[in-house]
Amino acid sequence: MNITHILEEHLKWLNGEGGQRADLSWADLVGADLTEANLAGAELYRANLTGANLTGANLAGADLVGANLTEANFTKANLEGAALEGAYLMGTTLAEANLTGILL
């Protein structure tokens, strides 16, 4: 899995330029640096983001149902309208994150 390629294709999809929606369901992203990544509307169902850095990332409308977000850093991230039902949030940093309309 090439995360850089997936993010590039997702950005094209978001901009209506072809590409494809990021599907990172069940992905092992332990410790990944996704600082300021645009994952709006992405599928992250049951992804393992333990210890990942998502500072300033855009996850508006993303599917994080059942994801492992233990010790993940979402400082200043946009999680507006994201689905977080059943997500593991132990030790997760959400300082200054936009949590408007999240689904728990």
Percentage helix, strand, coil for the chain under 3-state DSSP, each rounded to 5: 10, 15, 70
The encoded tokens of residue 69 equal: 């977000």
At 54 the pLDDT is 98
Q: Is the dihedral of CA 61, 84, 23, 55 positive or negative?
A: positive
The pTM assigned to this predicted structure is: 0.95
Other Cβ atoms closer than 10 A to 3: 15
Other Cβ atoms closer than 10 A to 73: 24
pLDDT, tens digit, for every residue of 26-44? 999 999 999 999 999 999 9
Residues 22-104: name the CATH superfamily: E3 ubiquitin-protein ligase SopA (2.160.20.80)
Checking if the pLDDT of 1 tops 80, the result is no
